[in-house]
Amino acid sequence: MSDDRTQPLILISGLSGSGKSVALNALEDHGYYCVDNLPGAMLPALAAHIESEPERYRRLAVGIDARAGPEELARLPGLIAGLARPAELIFLTAENEVLIRRFSETRRRHPLGSERTLGQAIEEERRIMEPLAEQASHVIDTSDSNIHELRRSIRNLVKPAVDPQISSLVLESFAFKKGVPRDVDLVFDARCLPNPHWQPDLRACTGLEQPVGDFLGAEPMVEEFADDVDRFVRRWLPVWAEEQRSHLTIAIGCTGGKHRSVYLVDRLAQRWRAAGLDVTTHHRELIQ
């Protein structure tokens, strides 16, 4: 479908513990506006609202579960059929013993388990949701799937609407002597490069200032280092995207975190922005 406004409304439903939240998160990472646990009766009103703002809601996914109640779920197929926008229902399920294990591991209470054992609550939910499962465009059994496999399955279902991509890159400079930043995906060590710190007239400057840029830009090793990082990251971006990453943080460190790493982060950010990538920079040691 070439026009995003004709993309179907995606409905995510299924048994508690089967992975509905994971599925909605995967869709959100692929550009969908996601609404979780929407009462079925509100679906027509939501549909009317999104049709009034098609540019904002080009891709929309809605999560509906057993908490809506059997009466509301029974009406849902008719409500779906009456929508102006086409809809696709993805139903997630899993074997009872798998669901019991997942609830035991997370220690969460089943939404229908206030006056039932866990096993009884799962059976009751399966009974309530069966008519909806029969209406589904796609049924995914997650019994033998991990989180990454489920995310991949969801992406494959909506692949005609969106290609996998890293939606944002964060480039961070830091000082090794103050520790490697937490929660980074890639770390590059620039301490092997010529150090402006040893030039008395550059010591008080930073890698964002012209004198340091002139010094480092004149060193062939620095340009080769930047070229190698550039080639490596751009070569592997599509592969990381296929693994359901939407965000990548790359850290470049040097001894003091003020010259070489700052210069490289700024230079690479300019290259990648020129290539159309969404890049945010952060210079840890320059923030007081």
**Tens digit of pLDDT for each residue in 50-64?**
777 777 777 888 888
Q: How far apart are CA 186 and CA 254, in angstroms?
A: 14
Which of the two residues, 173 and 109, has the higher pLDDT score?
Answer: 173
Which of the two residues, 1 and 102, has the higher pLDDT score?
Answer: 102
Burial string for 170-206 (b: 16+ CB within 10 Å, else e) reads bbbbbbbeeeeeeebeeebebeebebbbeeeebeebb
pLDDT of res. 245: 67
Which of the two residues, 8 and 125, has the higher pLDDT score?
Answer: 125
* Contact (CB, 8 A) for 61 and 27: yes
pLDDT of res. 159: 65
**Tens digit of pLDDT for each residue in 219-235?**
999 999 999 999 999 99
Q: Which amino acid is at 199?
A: Q
Q: What is the mean pLDDT of residues 136-156?
A: 88
Q: How far apart are CA 133 and CA 59, in angstroms?
A: 23
Domain 4-161: which CATH number of 3.40.50.2000, 3.40.50.300, 3.30.420.10, 3.90.660.10: 3.40.50.300
Q: How far apart are CA 263 and CA 270, in angstroms?
A: 11
Q: How far apart are CA 196 and CA 214, in angstroms?
A: 10
**Tens digit of pLDDT for each residue in 181-219?**
988 999 999 999 999 999 999 999 999 999 999 999 999
**Tens digit of pLDDT for each residue in 90-123?**
999 999 999 999 988 888 888 887 788 999 999 9
Least confident of 3-12, 17-26, 80-89, 178-187: 3-12
pLDDT of res. 254: 97
pLDDT of res. 3: 46
Q: Where in the chain is the domain with CATH 3.40.50.300?
A: 4-161
pLDDT of res. 2: 36
